C-alpha cells in the first residue's frame, strides 16, 4: 500500500498538536494536550486504490532544531503552520520554516496553514495584540506570502471549532498526489479507517497552542473526504 507522508512544522504554541488531535479524533482536546502527538495513519481510497496518509507532528522549539530534520526524509507534503494571532509565528514562516524544509526537501510541496482562526475576532486577543501595535494576520496577507514562497496554497482552520479543518488535510493529500504543475483533474479520496502509526522515526515534542486535557489520539475513526 502506498503511503503519503505528511509532516507538520511551525513555531511552538501555534496549535499543531491540537490540529492533529482534533482532526484524528473529531474532538478538541479541552483539558490536556500531550507534548508528543502519536503519529497516525489514515487509510484513504483514491481511484479505487488504498493509500495510507501518515501524519507526523514535530517540535517547533529551537532545542529540537538538530533533531527535527530526522523526520523529514521521504516526506510527500509539509504543512507549514502559523497562528493567525501570532505575527511572530507568521514571520518565522519566511525566516525559518520554509528555508528549513526547502533545504532538506527542495522538491517537496508544502501548504501554508493558518491556525487558531477562532481567535481572530476575539476581543481580548485583539486587545493584547494592539498593546504591541500588532493585529491578527488577514487571509489576504497570508495568501500573498503563500504565493511569494511558492506554497501550493494557503488554507486556514480552527482546531477548536473544526472550521476548515478537514479541508487542510484534503488539500494536503491532493498536493502530495498531484504536484501544482501541471494542473490535473482531482481524484476522489475516501478514507476507510484511522489507526495508530507505529513509527521508529523521531517523535518530536508537539505543542498545542491551547491548554487542554484528556483527548486520547483516536482509533478506528472513519472520515469522509470530499473534493472541491
Q: pLDDT tens digits for 87-130?
A: 999 999 999 999 999 999 999 999 999 999 999 999 999 999 99
Average pLDDT over every residue of 175-179: 85
Kindly tell me if the per-residue pLDDT of 199 is higher than 90. Answer: no
The CATH code that applies to domain 2-196 is 3.40.50.300
Average pLDDT over every residue of 189-204: 42
Share of the chain above pLDDT 70, in %: 75
More confident: 31 or 51:
51
Kindly tell me if the per-residue pLDDT of 185 is higher than 70. Answer: no
Helix/strand/coil percent split, the chain, to 5 = 30, 25, 45
- Least confident range from 29-38, 43-52, 155-164: namely 29-38
Give the pLDDT confidence score for residue 182 in this predicted structure: 46
Taking all residues of the chain, what is their mean pLDDT, rounded to a whole number? 82
Return the DSSP state at 102: H
Give the pLDDT confidence score for residue 47 in this predicted structure: 73
pLDDT tier for residue 35 given thresholds of 50, 70 and 90: low
pLDDT tier for residue 202 given thresholds of 50, 70 and 90: very low
Instruction: Indicate the burial class of 38 (C-beta count within 10 angstroms; 0-12, 13-18, 19 or more).
Output: buried
Helical segments of the chain, H only = 16-25, 87-92, 98-104, 123-131, 139-148, 165-177
d(CA 134, CA 83): 13
d(CA 201, CA 217): 18
Assign 212 to helix, strand or coil.
strand
Burial per residue of 46-85, b for 16 or more beta-carbon CB atoms within 10 angstroms, e otherwise: beeeebbbbbbbbbbeeebeeebbebbeebbbbbbbbbbb
More confident: 112 or 225:
112
Residue-wise DSSP of 119-155? GTT-HHHHHHHHHTT--PPPHHHHHHHHHHTT-S-EE
Domain-wise residue ranges, the chain: 2-196
Amino acid at each position: 500500500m502506498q503511503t503519503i507522508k505528511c509532516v507538520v512544522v511551525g513555531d511552538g504554541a501555534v496549535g499543531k498538536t491540537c490540529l492533529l488531535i482534533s482532526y484524528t479524533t473529531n474532538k478538541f482536546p479541552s483539558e490536556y494536550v500531550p507534548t508528543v502527538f502519536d503519529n497516525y495513519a489514515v487509510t484513504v481510497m483514491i481511484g479505487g486504490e488504498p493509500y495510507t496518509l501518515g501524519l507526523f507532528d514535530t517540535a517547533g522549539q529551537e532545542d529540537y532544531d538538530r533533531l527535527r530534520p530526522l523526520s523529514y526524509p521521504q516526506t510527500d507534503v509539509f504543512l507549514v503552520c502559523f497562528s493567525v494571532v501570532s505575527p511572530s509565528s507568521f514571520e518565522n514562516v519566511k525566516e525559518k520554516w520554509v528555508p528549513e524544509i526547502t533545504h532538506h526537501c527542495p522538491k517537496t510541496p508544502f501548504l501554508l496553514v493558518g491556525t487558531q482562526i477562532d481567535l481572530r475576532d476575539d476581543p481580548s486577543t485583539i486587545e493584547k495584540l494592539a498593546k504591541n501595535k500588532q493585529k491578527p494576520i488577514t487571509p489576504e496577507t497570508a495568501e500573498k506570502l503563500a504565493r511569494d514562497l511558492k506554497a501550493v496554497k494557503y488554507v486556514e482552520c480552527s482546531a477548536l471549532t473544526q472550521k476548515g479543518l478537514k479541508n487542510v488535510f484534503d488539500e494536503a493529500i491532493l498536493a502530495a498526489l498531484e504536484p501544482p504543475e501541471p494542473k490535473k483533474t482531482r481524484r476522489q479520496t475516501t478514507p476507510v479507517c484511522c489507526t495508530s502509526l507505529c513509527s521508529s522515526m523521531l517523535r518530536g515534542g508537539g505543542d498545542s497552542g491551547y491548554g487542554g486535557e484528556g483527548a486520547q489520539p483516536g482509533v478506528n475513526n472513519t472520515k469522509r473526504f470530499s473534493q472541491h
